[in-house]
Structure 1
């Protein structure tokens, strides 16, 4: 079937725009990492990640041109200082690629379901396969190097059982015992500790290399929020005699040289924030202890407030590129009347 005359839908336009923004940002981050990596096992993984992002950007550019779709500004050479000194440890780079590949899998899988044109579905499906392959390869290396904490082991069930009392869902009464966490609840608590750990380190790296006081303050506030959330999730696990994640050594250097543009750093943090919000919503939806659900709702609100502050800061300095949308019909009508 000839698709040439089939117009892009709003979901396809939004998906392609979002992918381009994310992938051009990733290109900048990964290109800088490649400049300093020494580990012979980690360097190929980061290079593979860079090649994936670079290839996606090229494919997107071709799609935009064929669809007469204005190419977004995104991020480029002006957003990364390749002369800046070493900032991230090799282990951080590997952990970063592994965690961001998870973000990519969630993002691309949702975009597949929102695409209609076969050419767009093929592109997004292939991109999903790319990040899935990257996740598997980065996970293999991470496990081999002891840089990826496994989720806790629990006893395998030997028979099925059913819930017989509503107390199973309780957890707010301080004078009554809370039931033990189930496997689904443990997995999400553990996941959110690990993702917040990555965010904490990114915030620290961005805070110490940004030349702007407002960006520094924002990053440090975000870092403290990540630490607070890690503490809450870890204590919940400890209260249930579950081992907390042993976060690997993924430290950053003491460099204070501006490395990435403030525009890129703020955009990256908004991506981390939106991913974290999605994680919390999912965790709250599948948790069956009411205290966990309320915790996720409360923490999601805190993250939402942080996202609002980030958006305000980006608008103030003209860093927030506007996503494609429909024209304001009322303004068009008023403009026509004046003419």
Structure 2
């Protein structure tokens, strides 16, 4: 080995491993979508995303090979079934990628700040740029089609003001009316509802086609949980006479034939659950109304056991690939 060669750190290995899992999962979805896509513009978005994702997977493979590390299994062609009916209808493909781009942009930007070797920093910088490009393409397409609902407009602020009353933080005072949501709180609520609308249709579709009974029941639970998040947070907007986001597109069809393995469907459900926990934590951290903060925390308390249960199902069936592990030096202390 070159004396100037800097080995990968534990964080770099872990994040490359995570990126490989997510990207190989995405490739399987894209293969399925490309088989059924009819709209030419959507096809171009899917193809460009597939090409860039495939290139990233090969780059990660090369890094692991150069470091003498085993290449993860991730998700393969065995996890997607060709020639089956469409599971999702009109415009779901860009809606799905719109959601995935939000997850990727957040994850890969974080991974880039946890990387120290120059080539790894550059790789995650490219991954972040790819995710942002995917978001731009999908958002613009969905806006042009009238499918993506913008957050509510508001009057532009004309002066600077400071909070003078501690009741600004309260949402539980029964003797006075709650203040209206501020722009930051509205944006976080809108973001959470938008993600759960797409996720709910994914859960409905998965519940229809899952092979294992317990897995099917798990997706039904995920469907109900997404609905609860959407309706609970939507009520905060309605109290301020703001209509929550909704869309007529991207519904699950009535197909009962699985396009994906139960393993793949469980993985992405776990990923979405983890993303939802992070979103609620962010929403709680930046919400200044105490009732909204408590609601975000309560929803998180319901999502956490859901994600844990999913992990246990994956372990039971041998679907959870184990991340790279450090040497267990604790054994050296045992006699």
Matching residue of 2:186? 186
Matching residue of 1:118? 118
**How many pairs were matched up?**
334
Matching residue of 1:247? 247
Matching residue of 1:147? 147
Secondary structure of the corresponding residue to residue 205 of structure 1: helix
Matching residue of 1:300? 300
CA distance in 2, matches of 1:320, 1:144: 39
Secondary structure of the corresponding residue to residue 41 of structure 1: helix
* 1:251-294 superposed Cα distances (whole Å, 9 cap, x missing partner): 12211112111111110001000111110000100000000001
Give the superposition deviation at 1:13: 0.7
CA distance in 2, matches of 1:54, 1:333: 44
Kept in 1: contact 2:280–2:296 (CA 8 A): yes
Secondary structure of the corresponding residue to residue 200 of structure 1: helix
Kept in 2: contact 1:207–1:220 (CA 8 A): yes
CA distance in 2, matches of 1:93, 1:126: 23
* 1:295-339 superposed Cα distances (whole Å, 9 cap, x missing partner): 1111111100101110111111111111112122233555xx6xx
CA distance in 2, matches of 1:78, 1:117: 34
Kept in 2: contact 1:148–1:248 (CA 8 A): no
Using the size of structure 1 for normalisation, the TM-score is: 0.96
CA distance in 1, matches of 2:28, 2:135: 19
1:61 matched to 2:57? The reply is: no
Using the size of structure 2 for normalisation, the TM-score is: 0.97
In the TM superposition, structure 1's runs of 4+ consecutive aligned residues that sit over 4 Å from their partners are none
Secondary structure of the corresponding residue to residue 40 of structure 2: coil
Matching residue of 2:238? 238
Give the superposition deviation at 1:228: 0.8
CA distance in 2, matches of 1:144, 1:57: 31
CA distance in 2, matches of 1:3, 1:319: 39
Secondary structure of the corresponding residue to residue 324 of structure 1: coil
Which residues in structure 2 correspond to 1:322-333 (within 5 Å)? 322-331=322-331
Change (3 A) 1:130 1:90: same
Secondary structure of the corresponding residue to residue 138 of structure 1: helix
Kept in 2: contact 1:184–1:286 (CA 8 A): yes
1:317 matched to 2:333? The reply is: no
Matching residue of 1:40? 40
1:95 matched to 2:95? The reply is: yes
CA RMSD of aligned residues (A): 1.3
CA distance in 2, matches of 1:106, 1:91: 24
Which residues in structure 2 correspond to 1:269-280 (within 5 Å)? 269-280=269-280
Matching residue of 1:163? 163
Change (3 A) 1:82 1:174: farther
CA distance in 2, matches of 1:7, 1:170: 51
Matching residue of 1:105? 105
CA distance in 2, matches of 1:263, 1:4: 41
Kept in 2: contact 1:37–1:90 (CA 8 A): no
Kept in 2: contact 1:3–1:117 (CA 8 A): no
Secondary structure of the corresponding residue to residue 160 of structure 1: coil
Give the superposition deviation at 1:107: 0.7
